[in-house]
Amino acid sequence: MIDIHTHLVPGLDDGSPDLKTTMEHLSRAAKVGVKRIYLTSHYFKGHYEYSREDYDRRFKEVEAELAKAGVKLELRPGFEVFAQAGIIEDIIAKSLYLGDSKYVLVESELNGLPPDFYTCVYPLLRAGLKPILAHAERYVSIMQKPSEARSLIDRNIYMQVNASSLVGLYGDKVKTTAKTLIENGWAHFVGSDNHGRTPVESYLDAHTLISSKVDQKTADMLMKDFPSRIESNLQIPYRYVEVIRPRHHRRKRRSWLKKLLRYL
Ligand SMILES: [Fe+2]
């Protein structure tokens, strides 16, 4: 599996506080079957603002420690960027991408996506970047109306769902929303969003849950296949579920000639 959303660079955001915690979580992730993991620290102007050099230095420390401990896990740099006006400048100047790709993990206000959310994201799309909305199921506006996710997908924004939401760690409403997004094909990734406190096992539990409630193909697609395409910046389809209307819902159309013949 490939986890595209974690906060395991120590001391940079509200995630893992130290190298020891990071190592514990990375070792457990490798044990439950995670092969590659993106360390996506929050980047939020005015709150979590740092230089790319600072991030890289801490990232390398983790990488060296992991190699020393002999843990087989591929680490990739990444960021979870708060969508704000003008954020495109920082994204480009500091390469706030997932690895070397053009995919960018973005987040917004959980109490409801603000009216200017798309205005903040649109410059990213125009610059050829591929925004992914982090933990889509946790925004109040999407909880109230899950089809808002579909509208965003129609505007070329990918959706990421948290494994911990699926297993119920954020309560019933978030869990139901996460399930709805996946069942409708309105999710492209399942990530852990591990802040150094999340039980790593819930990531594996989410795979098992999707396999049993939807199917294993979908579980693999969201946790292996689609995340694996980020590495080479390959395109991921926005829509991958084709909804076919049952036959009896199709209106029969009779030609005007047939209609006329019926009355003759
Ligand atoms: Fe996060």
Residue range 141-169, pLDDT digits in tens: 999 999 999 999 999 999 999 999 999 99
User: Please, which pLDDT band fits residue 241 given cuts at 50, 70 and 90?
Assistant: confident
Chain-wide mean pLDDT for the chain? 94
C-alpha separations of 178 from 65, 161, 169, 170, 194 in Å: 35, 6, 12, 10, 17
14 C-alpha to center of ligand 1: Å? 9
d(Cα 196, Cα 29) in Å, to the nearest integer? 11
Three-state DSSP class for 132? strand
192 C-alpha to center of ligand 1: Å? 8
196 C-alpha to center of ligand 1: Å? 11
Indicate the residue type of 212. S
Number of residues assigned to the chain: 264
What are the backbone dihedrals phi and psi of residue 160, each rounded to the nearest 5 degrees, phi first? -115, 135
203 C-alpha to center of ligand 1: Å? 14
260 C-alpha to center of ligand 1: Å? 64
Within a 13 Å sphere around the CA of 109, how many CA atoms are in the beta-carbon half? 11
Residue range 102-133, pLDDT digits in tens: 999 999 999 989 989 999 999 999 999 999 99
**Domain ranges (residues) in the chain:** 2-241
- Kindly report the number of other CB atoms within 10 A of residue 120's CB atom: 20
**pLDDT over 80 (residue 235):** yes
pTM: 0.91
Two tokens, residue 44? 């939020």
165 C-alpha to center of ligand 1: Å? 12
244 C-alpha to center of ligand 1: Å? 35
Q: Are 169 and 247 in contact (CB under 8 A)?
A: no
Q: Are 62 and 27 in contact (CB under 8 A)?
A: no
Indicate the residue type of 262. R
82 C-alpha to center of ligand 1: Å? 10
Architecture of domain 2-241: Alpha-Beta Barrel (3.20)
**pLDDT over 70 (residue 237):** yes
113 C-alpha to center of ligand 1: Å? 16
By C-alpha distance, which of 36, 35, 11 is closest to 22?
Answer: 11
Residue range 25-83, pLDDT digits in tens: 999 999 999 999 999 999 999 999 999 999 999 999 999 999 999 999 999 999 999 99
143 C-alpha to center of ligand 1: Å? 18
Crossing angle of helices 19-31 and 52-69, rounded to 10°: 60
226 C-alpha to center of ligand 1: Å? 19
253 C-alpha to center of ligand 1: Å? 51
251 C-alpha to center of ligand 1: Å? 46
193 C-alpha to center of ligand 1: Å? 5
Q: Are 81 and 96 in contact (CB under 8 A)?
A: yes
134 C-alpha to center of ligand 1: Å? 7
User: Please, which pLDDT band fits residue 198 given cuts at 50, 70 and 90?
Assistant: confident
**pLDDT over 90 (residue 87):** yes
Indicate the residue type of 113. L
**pLDDT over 90 (residue 93):** yes
Q: Which residue has the higher pLDDT, 185 or 253?
A: 185
Two tokens, residue 55? 């991030």
Average pLDDT over every residue of 206-219: 96
Two tokens, residue 142? 């999407």
By C-alpha distance, which of 209, 212, 47, 195 is closest to 134?
Answer: 195
- Please report which residue ranges of the chain form alpha helices under DSSP H: 19-31, 52-69, 87-94, 117-126, 140-144, 147-154, 163-166, 172-183, 201-213, 216-220, 226-230, 256-262
Residue range 168-195, pLDDT digits in tens: 999 999 999 999 999 999 999 999 999 9
